[in-house]
Structure 1
Amino acid sequence: MKTPPIVSAPEWDMAYQQMLVEEKAFTRARDALAAKRRRMPWTEVNASYRFEGPEGPMNLLELFQGRRQLIVYRAFIDPGTGDWPAHGCTGCSLMADHIGNLAHLNARDTTLAYVSRGSQADLERIKNRMGWKIPWYTIVPESTFDRDLGVHDWHGHNAFIRDGDRVYRTYFINNRGDEAFNNTWTFLDMTALGRQETWEDSPPGYPQSPAYEWWDWHDEYGSHEPSRWFGDPDPDDPHDPRPVKPCH
């Protein structure tokens, strides 16, 4: 592997100070984008979308758990995904692995919930296996919640706010936007080798492998071949099981 220049500590600090200008500009740009999100119009949604929770039937309003704001992630822990019934989707499982103590989010009057098409019994079994403590609900078979909110075919986060019993959709993030909720990428992006994926612009000779395919369930790394669920299907392989990714 050909490395970047090896320099003295003062030279390194000079290069870092130059990068810091861009880092700060990125932070300000991110803050400006967040300010625009806060000024997005709201649209009212059906507060009676039905779910099943650990205690029984629930509606969307009840997912708020009494708080003013709600973020709902559509996780594909569903029959037919991953190596079901042992696990669900590897990418959605990777997302769930990064959710820690929600007390800090709750302190800002905000609830985070995951929803899937898996039954409560299946979700509870997989949560116990994976060590997840996230509030997790089942989208009931007749519900159109995921289709109506843009997460029927692909993962994504929807943000809601309530005014009494009325619920409004305020924002939506999906696809690579969801990376913001996964600090594995943040840590890797600050390293010399980055994510080590083939799409990245890295110096020649840096280790790289296809995006998505190295992911695994955290209790299965090294035990089987890389997943072929994520990534673009190979047009020359009629047996490639990956679906064509929908456009959003």
Structure 2
Amino acid sequence: MTIENAPEPAVTDRATFEAGVADLRTREKAHTRAGDAIAAARRRMPVVEVDAATTLIGPHGPTPLIDTFEGRAQLIAYYFMWYPGRPAAEQCEGCTWNNTQVDELSYVHSRDITYAVFCQGPYAESVRYHDFMNWTMPWYSAQQSLDTLLAGRRIGMMHVICYLRRDNRVFETYWTTGRGVEAVDINYRLMDLTIYGRQEPWEDSPEGWPQSHLEDTRTNGRPTAQWSRINAGRSDSLTG
């Protein structure tokens, strides 16, 4: 089922439509306030110390965790899933989806926050993917230190982890995984505003609504955002 041949929504008059929007707005405001309350609780969470000298690999070789803050007080690290030895087309479509939306970082920088990707694969191979995608965010390999940095959490899954730097010490303040990493995403939030939504099978939609996007972040066998890079003549090979 596609949008072109999907059933048409019910049509009503303006007054009835506006009454429905007003009802949604009440629920949306409650949802926003609930999110504010959760964020307030997050700000009151205790923290756990992490070894500030934990080693990552970056553009200048071995780099201690504390240096990935780039002098700022806080760090948001996206733990990028990785499939060693595979070409660009076979790398994680979800991580690609999320990080393709990370471009202008001046706003988070203005709040003393650095955003960086901690790839779970080797640096030399994965940084070629960073360059293939034409990304500009800081990129490191956390492969050698995942047991320390993920501390009992599942290696190989996407995570977003937040850190705080105090002088020469580093503290973990929050982490999330699964749909929690949608914090990085704007596309889904925009889709959720539309009448057909994300068009994915799990959604609660009216009968006959398009829900055919099984590979929700792939198009013709590869992460959707890669097609512009392929059309520009870039190579899928990441092994040099």
Alignment TM-score > 0.5, same fold: yes
Higher helix share: 2
The equivalent residue for 1:91 is 94
1:116 aligns with 2:123: no
Residues in 2 aligned to 1:142 and 1:153: alpha-carbon distance in whole angstroms: 13
Give the deviation of 1:119 after TM superposition: 3.1
Could you say if the C-alpha distance between residues 149 and 186 of structure 1 is closer, same or farther in structure 2, counting changes exceeding 3 Å? Answer: farther
**Equivalent of 2:46, from 41, 48, 55?**
41
Residue 69 of structure 1: aligned partner:
74
Q: Would the alpha carbon gap of residues 208 and 145 (structure 1) be closer, same or farther in structure 2, given more than 3 Å must change?
A: same
Please name the residue that 1:53 is paired with.
58
In structure 2, what is the equivalent of residue 243 of structure 1? none
The change in CA–CA distance for 1:176 and 1:154 in structure 2 (over 3 A counts) is same
SS in 2 for 1:141: helix
Q: Secondary structure at the match of 1:168?
A: strand
The verdict on how the C-alpha distance between 1:101 and 1:142 changes in structure 2, with shifts beyond 3 A counting, is closer
Q: CA deviation at 1:15?
A: 1.2
Which amino acid is 1:92 matched to? C
Aligned match for 1:13, one of 7, 12, 18: 18
User: Unaligned regions of 5+ residues in structure 2, if any?
Assistant: 1-5, 231-240
Q: CA 1:22/1:86 → structure 2, altered by over 3 Å: closer, same or farther?
A: closer
Instruction: Tell me the equivalent position of 2:195.
Output: 192
**Residues 79, 158 of structure 2: 8 Å contact kept:** yes
C-alpha distance in structure 2 between counterparts of 1:184 and 1:220, whole Å: 17
TM-score using structure 1 length: 0.81
Return the alpha-carbon distance in structure 2 between the equivalents of residues 151 and 69 of structure 1.
24
Residue aligning to 1:209: 212
Cα offset, 1:5, TM superposition: 2.2
Tell me the secondary structure at the aligned position of residue 203 of structure 1. coil
Task: For 2:154 and 2:69, locate their aligned partners in 1 and report how far apart those are by CA, in whole Å.
Answer: 19
Matched, 1:176 2:179: yes
Write out per-residue CA displacement over residues 164-220 of structure 1, whole angstroms, 9 at most, x where no aligned residue. Answer: 111111101110111121111101100000011111000000011254455242124
How much is the aligned-residue C-alpha RMSD, in angstroms? 2.1
TM-score (norm 2): 0.84
The count of residues paired between Structure 1 and Structure 2 equals 220
Match of 1:219 among 223, 226, 230: 226
Give how far 1:19 is off: 1.0
Structure 1 residue runs without a partner (length 5+): 224-248
Q: CA deviation at 1:86?
A: 5.4
State yes or no: 1:134 paired with 2:141. Answer: no
Q: Is the CA contact (8 Å cut-off) linking 2:120 and 2:156 kept in structure 1? A: no
1:148 and 2:151 correspond: yes
Paired residues of 2:200 and 2:216 also in contact (CA < 8 A)? no
Alpha-carbon separation, structure 1, partners of 2:46 and 2:8: 48
CA contact (8 A) 1:50 1:140 kept: no
Matched residues in 2 for 1:98 and 1:105: separation?
Answer: 14
Q: Which amino acid is the alignment partner of residue 197 of structure 1?
A: E
